[in-house]
Every structure is written in C-alpha cells, then in structure tokens.
Amino acid sequence: MKKTVPLAIVFVTGVAMIVQFFIPPWPFNVLAETVQSWVRIIAAGAMALGIASLLAVNLNKVYRQREGWPFSIVTVASLIGMALVGFVWGSAETRLIPVDSPAAYTRFIEAKNISVDDAEALDAAIVEEVADIRAEVETRVDVPVTEGALLREIDSRFQRRWGSSPAQLRSAPLVRDFVEAQPQNLDTVDAIPRAILAVRASVYEELFEAGEFEGLTVEEQQALVEGTFQERFLAAWGVSPAEMLGASQREVRSPFFWGYEYLYYPLAATMFSLLAFFVASAAFRAFRARTPEATLLLVAAFFVMLGRVPLGDYIGEWVPNLAGWIMSVPNTAGMRAIMIGIALGAVSYSLRIILGYERPYLAGGGD
Amino acid sequence: MRRLSAAFLAISFLLIPGTAAFSQNGEQAPAEDEAQMDGGISVAVSEQEQDILDDETTGPATADIEILEPIEEEPEPPVRAPPAPTNVDAFDTPNSAGDSVTLTWQPVPDEVDLGVVGYAIMRSKEPDGPFEQVGIATIGASRHRDTDARDIKAGETYYFQVVTLTADEQRAASEIVSAVPEAQWFHSGRWFILILVILISGAILFNINRARRGVDLYIRRIAGLESVEEAIGRSTEMGKPVLYVPGIRDMDDIQTIASMSILSHVARLTAEYDTPILVPNIRAVVMSTAQEVVKAAYLDVGRPDAYNPENIRYLTDDQFGYVAGVDGIMIRDKPAANFFLGAFFAESLILAETGASTGAIQIAGTAMPSQLPFFVAACDYTLIGEELFAASAYLAREPMLLGSLKGQDWGKFVFMIAVLVGAIGATVVTVGGLDPDVWWNIASWFRVE
Amino acid sequence: MQELATQDLVGLWIAAILTLFIFSFLYKDNPLYKFAEHMFVGVSAGYILVRTWFDILMPMLFQRIWIPGVRELTVESLMVFIPAALAIMMLMRLVPSAGWISRWPLAFMMGVTSGLYLVMYLQTNAIEQIRATMVPFAVAENDWLHIATYLFPVLAVVIVLLVVMILIRERIEVLYRKWNIIFPLYLIVAGIVLLYFIAIHRTPEGVALIENQSFNNVILFVGVVSGLVYFFFSKAHTGAFGVTARIGIYFLMMAFGASFGYTIMARISLLIGRSQFLLDEWGGDAIVQTPVWMSILLILGLLAVIVMAAIKTRHDESH
Amino acid sequence: MDIKRNISRYSRLIVAMLVAAAVLGALGAPTLVWICVAVAGVVPVLIPDRRMIFLLIAVFVVLPLLFPMKLETDITPEVQNMYDRIEELESGSVILMSFDFDPATRPELYPATLAFMRHCVRKGHRIVTMALWPLGVSLAEEAVRDVIMDEWNVENPDDPYIYGRDYVHLPYMAGGVVVANQVAASFEQVYPRDLRGTPLRDIPMMRGITNLGNIDFTFGLSSGDPGLREWIMVASDRVGIDVGGAATAVSAPEFYPYLQAGQLVGLMGGLKGASEYEALVGVPDTATAGMDAQSLAHLAIIIFIIVGNVMFFMDRRGKA
C-alpha cells in the first residue's frame, strides 16, 4: 500500500504525459491541461506544507527556549503579520475606500468662508490652494518633479487637510443633492456606491415588468439595462454614474503591498547583494590560475567582464567585440555540450523515476 | 512537536471551509455584493469598460449579413467598400483533436491605406445560417486557427467566412467555404522525436539490464578520483581531519544521491588512514543517510571502533546559517582536505573561499552550471557536471547508474554523428553545389512541430 | 524626487534600517543581522502564502469546486476534488503517523514533471541545439583560402618558436637557469600575438577573424563535438581521443569564464541597486522630507542599537 | 598588522601597480579609473584582510554613483534586433510581458522592464502582463504605475492608456512550464479572472486574444526557472511567435545558444542590456547611472584577481 500505489501513480502519470505529446485527440489534449492544473494546486499544497513546518520548527524553538529563540519569535511574528495583512486587505496593490465628500465640502467652505453653492468662489479657493502647494513643492526640490507625482501629492495633501481631493470637493454639492434625493436615508459614508447600484436595480425591475427582456440573450439584456441606466442617471444628475462614484471613493495602496515594498523587497535584495562582497574577497584570496583550465577561465572572464561594461569600449573597440565573440561562439559551444548532456541525463533520470528504478518520493515522510 | 503540528492542522481544516464560505458569498450574491466584496474595483472598472463595450458591440455580431450582399453588386458606391479577402480556404487542422479548423486567405492588397483594421472569422452550422464571429485576425495575417472544444465536433461540416473590417465600420465578407474537422490519432509532425525517445530509452534500459546481469561495463578512469586519495594522504600526514560537504539539497536530488556513493569511498579511505571525517549536514534525512554510509564503510575496512557518529552532525536548514556553520568548522578544526560534492547554489563561493584561505586541498563536484566556475577557479580539482555521476558510478558500480551512463554515451555518440553529417551536408549544400532542396527535404524529416 | 506620503516615509526609513542591519554582517555576524535575516524568512513565507492563496487556491480550487447549493454538480467541479485531496495528503506529512500518504501527491507531481521533461528537454535542449549546430564549415568559397593566407604565417612563426624553445631547453637551463621564467613569458607573448591576429587585426575589408562566419562555424562545431567527447565516459581519454577531450575542456572553461563574468556582473548590479536605494531614495527623498530633529533622533537611535549589539557580541564571544 | 613585512616582500608588485596607475592617468583615463587601479592594486597587498576588500568594493561602487564618469555604451546586436522588431510591429500589436523574477533580481531587471515598456507604450502597443513567479505581479503593477500612470498618461492626457483596453494584469499562477503550456492553448482556461477579479470575457481587449497565437511578441523577464527558457520552449518552438527577453547577468549566457539558433529574437543581458535599451529608447535612467559603478567595480575585481595571482606565484616561486 505504501510502496505499490505511489509506484503505480508515477508510472501511469509519466506514461500519460509522454503519450499526450504524440496523440492530439480527446481526451489526451484535455488530459494534459487538467493534469497540469492539478499539479499547480498540489504545488500550492506543498508550499503550505513548507510554511507549516517552518512555523512548527520556530514555535518549537521558542517553546523549548533553545539558543537564539527570540529570533524565532521575529520569524513567526513577521510570517503571521504579513499573512494576516494579506488575507484581511486582499493581495491586490490598491483598494477603493469611501470618501465623505459632502462633509469635506462643508469644512472647506467654512474655513474659506465661502457661501454655500457659490461655485466660482469655491473653484477660486481650490485653484489658489493647489497653486501654492505646487509652488511649495517645486521650490523645496531642485530635481524636476514628474507631473504625475505632483498631482498625486496635491491630492494626498488635500486628503490630509480636508478629507477629499480637489475634484471631489468640486462635485461635492452634486453628491449632497443625490444623497438627499434618495428614498432610504444614507447616513453611513459608504452608502453612496450602494445607492447608485440601487438606482440601477430599480431600472432593471422597471424594464423587467415592462417585458422588455423577451427574446433577448443575457448579454443583450445587460446591455439594455446598462444603456437606459446611463441615460436616466445622466439626465437626472448631469454626470455619469462613474463620475458620481469617483466623487465618493478614493484609491489607497493596500498595507500588504506596503509590506512587500518596504519589508520583503529590501531584505531580499540586500541579502543577495551581500554576495557581491564575497565575490570580491574570493577574487583576491581564492581565484588562482593553478591549472591551464583555470587560467583560460579567468582570461575568458576577464574579457567578458571588461567587454560588458562601458570601460571596455573605452579601452578599445575590439574589447566588446571579443567579449561578444566569447559569448556567442565558445560560450554557446560549451553551453550546448552541457545542455545536450543534461537533456540526456534528464531523459534517463525521468525514465528511471517512471519505471520505478529510482524512488525519490519515498525518502522521508515517515517509515 | 506532534501536539503543535496537530493543532495547526486543525486550524487549517477550519480555515478551508471558512474561506470557501467566505468566497461563497462572493459567488452567490447578486452583482452588487460582489462589487462591494471586491472593494468596488470591479464596479468602477466595469463602468469604464461599459462605455468601451457599447461602441464595441455595435460591431459584426448583431449586424445582419444578408443586407450587405447587395451593396457589392451596386456599381461604385459613394464610399469605396473595402475588397473582400480572396481565395479563402478552410481545412481540418492537421494533428488536431478534431475540434479545430484552419482558415487561410489572401489578405486584401494595400490594406493600410484602405483603413483595414483586421479580419473577422465567422462560422455557422448551415451554408446560409446565421454566422457568428468566432475570432479576429490582425491585418497582414493570412491564417487563423479556430479551435473550440465545445462547439466544434469531429465529423460535422462547418461553414466559414472571412470578413474585412475597416476603421470606419465598413465590412466586406468573402465567399463561404466549408470544412469537416477530424481527429488524427497520431501527430504526424512528431515522428522523429518519438523514434528518438524510443532509441534513447531503449539504449538506457538495455544497458541497465546488461549491468544488472553482471556484465562489466567499462567507465573511464575519472581524473578527479586520484586527487581524492592524494588529498586524504596529505591530510593524514598533517594530522588534520577531512571535511566532506554533501551539498544543500535533500535526498530527492540526484546530485545528493551521487554524493553519498562518493562519501562511502572517501570514508573507506579515511578509515584506512585512521583520519577523522567531518560531515556537516543541512537536511536531517541526508544526515541519517550519511551516518549509515560512513558506518558501513568503516565496517568494510574492519575499523568499526574508529567510526565516530558525533562528526556527522545536523547544523541548520537555513542556507546562509549552514554556510556560517561550515566556515566555523573550517577555521576551528582546520581540515587539510575539503570535499564539496553535491548540489550547491550561491553559497558555493563562500565555502570555497574560506577553504582556500585555510590552505586546504579542495575537491569539488556539482552539476549546477552556475556554480561550476567558482569551484573551478577556487578549488584544486573539480568534477564537472556529469563527471559527478560518472565518479559515483565508477566507484559504486551501481547497475542503474552504470547502465544509464552507458545509454547516455550511446546517445551522445549518435548526436555527434548527426552533427557531423549535418555539418558536412550543410557545407556541401552551401559551397559544394549540391541541389539545396534535395538536402532540405532530408533535413525536414528531422523537424519537430 | 518623489513627494512622499507619511506611509512611504516610514516605510523608507524601515527599509533603510533593515538594509543596514543586513550589511552589518560584513563586519561580523551580530544580533542585528540575525534579526533582519529571521524577519526576511518570515515575511517572504507570509507573502508567498498570501499570493498563492489569492492567485491559485481561490480561483482554481475554491471557485471551481462543487459546493452543495452554490455551484451545480458538473464533471469539472467534481474532478477538482482530486487535486484538493492530493493537496491535503501533502499536508499529512506534518502528522508523522500518516506521513506516508504524502508520497501519493509527491509521486503524482514527479510522474507529471518526469513525463513532461523527458520529451520537452529532448526537444529543446537536444534536437533544437543539434539542428542549430549543423552549420556549414565554409560560407563562401574562398573564405578558408583567405584565412589560411592571412593566419598561416602567424601560426607558423608561433609553432616554430615553440619547437625551437623545447629543443634548446637544456642550453637555456645551463646559461640562464631561468627556464620557469622564460617559458611562461614565451607563452604570454605568443598568446598576445594570437589574440591580436584573431580579435584585433582587421583585414583590408575591415573584417576581424572573429567576425568571419566560416571561422566561427568551425569553432562552434569543434567546440560542441569536443565538449561532447569530454563528457564521453565509455572510452579512456588517451591518444587522439584524449586530445579532443582536452580541447573540449578548454571550450567548457571559456563557457564557464563567460558565466563567471556574468555572475560577478549580476552580484555587482544587485549591490548597485541597494546603494542607489540608500543614496537616492533614503538619502535623497526620505531624509530631506523628514523633520531634521527626527532624522537626528533616528540616526542616534540606530547608532545606540549598533553599539549595544557590538557589546553583546563581544560579551558572547568572551564566554 | 605586519604591513612593513608585506611592503618589503611585495615591493616590486606595489611599484608595478603604482606605475600602471600613473601611466593610465597620463593616458587621460578618467580620474576614478586610475585611482581605482592604484588603490585596488596596493591596499589589499598591504592589508589582506577580508573586511578591507569589502570596504574597497563599497567605495568603488558608491564613488561613481556620487561622481559619475558618464562613459557611453555600445549597442550589442541582440539588443538592437529586439528594438528593431518592436519598432517594426505596427501600433496596436499585442505584447505579452511575463514578469518571472522577484525583488532579489529587481535592480537588474526592473530598469529593463521600464525601458521596454516605455518603448511599447510609445509605439502604442497593447500590453498583457502575467507572472510565473509569485512576486512578479507586484512588479508588473509597479512598472505600469511608473511608466503609464506617472509618465505616459500625464504627458499625453488626450491619448491615455486605459486598463482593460490597452493593458491588462493577469494574476500569478504556480506551475511554470505547465502554465506557459496552457496559455498556448487558451488564456481563459488558465486565468478565469484578471488580477482585479474581472472575468476575462468582460475585458474588451482580451476578446481578440484567445491564446498565445494572437500575441505578436512575448517578452520574458527571467531570473531563473521558470523563466525565458519555458517561453522559448512554448511560444517560440511550439506556437512559433517571436520571443525576446531580459535576463539577469548570471543567467544570460545560457540563452546565447537560443539566440544563435533563432529561437530567441533578442536579449537584454543584465544591467548592461538595460542601459543599451535605455540609450535606444533615449531615456537614460538607473541602468545608465549604474553602468559607471559597474565598470569601476569590475575593474577593481579584475585587479584583485591579477594581484592575488601574482602574489600566489611570487610566494610559490619563493618557496620552490
């Protein structure tokens, strides 16, 4: 049971994957794809196993207070922290969160003591505030700031001070009217998106009762509902649903992405860049031309390293050419000889696994 | 340990149905909730797409094809309608599962200034039945493969039309062609690779059986193996231990398995010379295997008392932690002979450098191409790629490895001959004046689709 | 310069401090490095766990599997139970008593990859490469004639000199007793001369030898065949066979030299990446936009932590 | 610290290195170059401690970043071919960018990503991004933010790149060649939904793209397996469409045989390849700035090897 079943599995799947390469018709072409997608799910399971054993090892080290146990706490804490943030805030880079633009609007007009619904004064105040933010950022910095970064900074500066972006402030009165016009009271901030969709749902019911949907495919029904909803909304509020939605939502970068950008990435990149120092010290203390082969290796490396940087150009135009030649002829020849060897090795190793001569999957995993 | 992992498993069991339920709401709830669950992104996005969708859907799908036909007969319509694609042909896609038809056509001449945007591929079950768009080919294309496991069944006839699309919504449909897709039971383009797979597998299995039947297969002397004996001899003179690092992969990697058989040879020598052998490990399974191998070697030589399990220890699972540990052993115990045999990654450099700085003789061997340059530059002798496996076959005479190597050698021999014949053929064709297409159709047998 | 939100500002400071913690390993292994390394292990495991969950398990498994009442019973939604079961079997490895069941999914994965790689490696690594090596030895009729007339005199001089050196070796030994200086010097000079004629010298038509397609084709052919000969284990490397193998190892060495150079280039560019981060993003953007007193406070705090770590390491060592 | 002993023992070597530096200086080499020859040639001989070499490498990397030498690069054919191929493709063609790398190799491959994406966006090509590595997805989103949102959409607001019409993000899928294989058959089978959860059928751009056959150019950013080799096996060998890519310097040599066999249209090898493409696109960025530091660091390591070997032979000859 513990040995024969795995042997059978390996044999059957191995032969099936070889045969599907040669026989196109059903079920073989479908077989290849479904089996490969299963492997992806199992690979995910294996990854989960890896993480589970990582957690187990570290928790055990903490439990037994073995030497260096506080560092295991760091590992477990950062693993759980990163995973929690990812599961709660989702793995996509950005998320939309609701913005209470009417409240921001009232705060803004009081601070600038503009009368309600006086659009020109509101616009003038906003333009003036944007201008001095732009001036303030440009003076403090000598490098030309990209327009995109500047626009984002103005939005975030407004967001911090007034609670919504300049564009949202301008359309705030419209949002306020829309909120007041809705039958159900919209006290909570994220009610606006739901209210807009409620309008769409009412259009759907109306068309359904009017019997507009007979003989239409699902796609056509959707298109009809969408079309009438867009017209109705534009007529009623002078803006499309998307703009109204835009006026009441703000895009924010998820903390999961923050963890990736400021924790994971710096740690990973720095760990690998340590190797640059070790290569340098090995270059001085260990790389010796003891044998003709090692000498040839160092000479080839010498030309490739020089040829691949602008310094090589600087020395002579032939240096990059020689580096290019080493890369395209001797390197290709050598790599090709190794690749053919590896290919034959892969064929024989795969063959031995499929026929059960070699059983690496039996190693470990209990008796 | 057991209590912890069991607890963890329980949590993961709760987690799976929990998230399934969590995702279930997403699936089951009407469109609004889904939008909400995804943080409204899909709503904002679909609005944007909605307007794009609107101008897209007014395209061919809903237009009624029959009305267009008469326009072409009129003399010269005010706006010059684009010409339809010519000599359209549809045929069963070769080597397919019977669910695919390939269409070829002559693209419209001077497409760009006619404003041609692409070609729509239309399909239907009846000759004049409603045509449905099944694909778009970009301008300049003259071939399209229409594959659809659901709608296309082998053996039934299907009718096709290729329609020129222009930027200003002009359309011109080609004449109607038909095809009957069938399933081919063997992929005609892959004969050669099948023969090759059979030949090579046959050579390997034949040699494995020969080796199993006790036939003594010749494997050439591996130069690196003398230096092993010499290094251990030097180590004994200086009264220093020998260090053996079996790589950082687990027992499921073939390089680690090969390393074990070389370890048993090295252990046999250290037993004879009565020199301690240190084997630091990164994986628990490799450690237990190494202990068994070394103990068996010491028993063979009749020195069971000299075997010391303490020297074959487990350090840590972490790559850089393991390297720091081995460096510590090199600096503290100052072994005079270091062996790095197995699978290595970026840490090979640090090991070889520290070893070189202690003045030890170093012999390395791995099949990882990216690490071989560092071993060759920093070590006294290096087993390159397959030499690692050849060395373990040479020492252990293990039939499976011996047979495989022999089979692979036969394969290499055949490939060498093929390259020679091919090169000579190519030379004769380019310079010698042999009629080129005689040569190319010979070479075409060896193609792989 | 990027105008930074507070969230990014804090992030940059943390990233810079972690980077310095890891670089501290260059001086000596210390608690700061251990802290950063252990955090790296945890954060990367957490990240990959979330990514796999949302990008694979959710769409592939949970949104396709048959859940009573949610998704109707189709062949496809039922079949998804198989990989789900295999994945859970993989997790059984954690329970020692049921560990053996994990061999089934492992066997399944190894079967699929072995079958896939057996054919694919043969096609991509063997057949395609062999077909690409079937190159003509001569591209144009007079190519080799031209190469011979141009390269032959140089080769002749180098070889004649070599023979003469070996013949009069005893006399040089007696006269100058510096054979092990003169011979290597000769080799270096001969190497430079050959290098000049092969790579630098351009024929009247402005073509260096290494740009001559026939020359390169022959070198490529010889390299691949001799490389294969080196990895041939069924015949001893003696006589002509031995010489070809030696040529083969020289080609392998040039290939290793190339990847050796490239590896060093890769490691250095990683280090440059981190230095640009410390100089531009942290030094340039973050410090400039942090209030001065806070920068000073943070840097002092950092120094204090380093000093404490140094004391702790010396304390550990002295025991 | 027996510096005196080292000075006396290797005096001829030290003098030789200083002379070489002086000669280079006289020949008009950039100041940093001949300083590097002098310092890298002499200091390790006097103080052969590992940490001194670490310090030297740090200095030789940081100095050119602060005081750039501005050496311009030559364009290798493998980068030029890929640039020309993208230039030939008429506007609106579909480019598949597969982000098969992670932060560890970001300094080498991210500049290449930006240079290539700027070129595609300038030519008006449509971009589908996917990833065979888990962390590639975030890098794809970041590249789009830097090139499209912060640069292109701001500079030409009238012709912006819109998600769903001009570019699409596909999520990460484990399985390497398994995924590439399936994408050759059908995108939707592999990716029921895009990164933001919108079903593929609803995205207008993906309507015309059912599988790899409809992709005009596959661009693989590869730092190992799965990576560019998988795309060569599937996209170039099986489906027969153009494949190009950027690879880390360490894995670049392995792809030259494919270039020579015509399976690969072009290749950006490491930071040097990226700086060449930046020169072609005309937007010098981190790659170009990095090349000066790269040059100096390479020079330092070459000198370390030479000096190390000379000392090795001097010691051996002394003893023999």
**B:319-348 residues touching chain A, CB 8 A cutoff:** 320, 346
Check CB contact of A223 with chain B, cutoff 8 Å.
Answer: yes
| Nearest CB to A45 within list C12, C54, C87 | C87
Burial A307-333 (b: 16+ CB within 10 A, else e): bbbbbbbbeeebbbbbbbbbbbbbbbb
Q: Do C53 and A86 touch (CB under 8 A)?
A: yes
Torsion of CA B143, B148, B149, B154, to 10 degrees: -60
Mutation test of the interface with chain B: which of C233, C234, C244, C264, choosing the one with the most B Cβ atoms within 10 A? C233
For chain A, say whether B373 makes contact (Cβ under 8 Å): yes
Can you tell me the mean pLDDT for B246-272? Answer: 87
| Angle in degrees, 0-180, between the axes of helices A4-22 and B191-212, rounded to the nearest 10 | 150
Q: Are B316 and B325 in contact (CB under 8 A)?
A: yes
Q: Is the peptide bond before B373 cis (omega within 30 degrees of 0)?
A: no
Whether the pLDDT of residue B440 is over 90: the answer is: no
Mean pLDDT confidence for A78-85: 92
- Against chain D, the chains showing at least 3 CB pairs within 8 Å are A, B, C
Within 8 A of D256 by CB-CB distance, chain B residues are none
Whether A338 and C252 have beta carbons less than 8 Å apart is answered as yes
Percent of chain C with pLDDT over 70: 95
Nearest CA in chain A to C77: A34
pLDDT single digits (tens) D91-133: 889 999 999 987 667 777 898 999 999 999 999 999 999 988 8
**Tens-digit pLDDT profile for residues B152-190:** 888 888 888 888 877 666 777 888 888 888 877 777 778
User: Does A335 contact B369 at a Cβ distance shorter than 8 Å?
Assistant: yes
Chain A contact set for C119 (CB, 8 A): 17-18, 21
Neighbours of chain C (3+ CB pairs under 8 A): A, B, D
Position C17 scores a pLDDT of 92
Of A147, A286, A328, the CB nearest to D256: A328
Give the residue extent of every domain in chain C: 136-211
User: Which chain C residues in 135-194 lie under 8 Å from chain A, judged by CB atoms?
Assistant: none
Task: Find chain A residues with C-beta within 8 A of C231's C-beta.
Answer: 337-338, 341
B349 pLDDT more than 80: yes
The verdict on whether omega for the bond into residue D226 sits within 30 degrees of 0, i.e. cis, is yes
Q: What is the mean pLDDT of chain D?
A: 84
DSSP β-bridge partners for residue B383: B365
Partners of residue B193 in chain A, C-beta under 8 Å: 21
* Res. D172: pLDDT tops 60: yes
Give me B332's structure tokens. Answer: 């503290």
In this complex, do B318 and C41 lie within 8 Å of one another by their Cβ atoms? yes
> For residue A294, which residues of chain C lie inside 8 Å, CB to CB?
253
- pLDDT above 90 coverage of chain D, percent: 22
Q: With contacts defined as CB-CB under 8 Å, which chain A residues touch C12?
A: 262
- Is the pLDDT at B50 greater than 60, yes or no? no
Contact state of B49 with D203 under an 8 Å Cβ cutoff? yes
Contact A329, C67 (CB under 8 A): no
Domains of chain B: 60-179 (2.60.40.10), 223-397 (3.40.50)
Beta-strand relationship, B177-179 and B277-278: unpaired
Q: Does B53 touch chain D (CB under 8 A)?
A: yes
Q: What is the pLDDT of residues A135-173, one digit of tens each?
A: 777 665 544 455 555 666 777 778 777 777 787 787 777
C67: Cα within 13 Å, side-chain hemisphere: 18
Decide if pLDDT at C296 tops 70. Answer: yes
Check C136 against B27: CB less than 8 A apart: no
Residues C101-159 have pLDDT tens digits of 888 888 888 888 888 888 888 888 888 888 888 888 877 777 777 777 777 788 888 88
Q: Does C63 touch chain B (CB under 8 A)?
A: yes
CB contact under 8 A, A148 and D106: no
Residue B140 has pLDDT above 50, yes or no: yes
Q: How many CB pairs under 8 A join C and D?
A: 129
Residue B397 has pLDDT above 90, yes or no: no
Most A CBs within 10 Å: which of B2, B3, B4, B351, as the mutation test of the A interface?
Answer: B4
Both structure tokens of D128 = 């589908």
What are the tens digits of pLDDT across the range A231-274?
Answer: 888 787 777 776 677 677 766 677 888 888 889 888 888 888 88
* Cα D242 from Cα D262, distance rounded (Å): 10
Residue B361 Cα, gap to closest chain A Cα (Å)? 12
Angle of helix A330-354 relative to helix A318-328, nearest 10 degrees, comes to 20
Chain A nearest-CA distance from B407, in A, is 8
- ipTM topping 0.85: no
The DSSP line for chain D is --HHHHHHHTHHHHHHHHHHHHHHHHTT--HHHHHHHHHHHHHHHH---HHHHHHHHHHHHHHHHHS---PPPPPPHHHHHHHHHHHHSPTT-EEEEEEE--GGGHHHHHHHHHHHHHHHHHHT-EEEEEESSTTHHHHHHHHHIIIIIIIIHHH-TTS---BTTTEEEEEE-S-THHHHHHHHH-HHHH-SB-TTS-BGGG-HHHHT--SGGG-SEEEEEESSSSSHHHHIIIIIIII--EEEEEE-TTTGGGGHHHHHTTS-SEEEEHHHHHHHHHHHHT---HHHHHHHHHHHHHHHHHHHHHHHHHHHHHHHHHH-
User: What local confidence, expressed as pLDDT, does residue A187 receive?
Assistant: 60
According to the per-residue pLDDT averaged within each range, which of A134-143, B305-314, C101-110, C217-226 is highest? C217-226
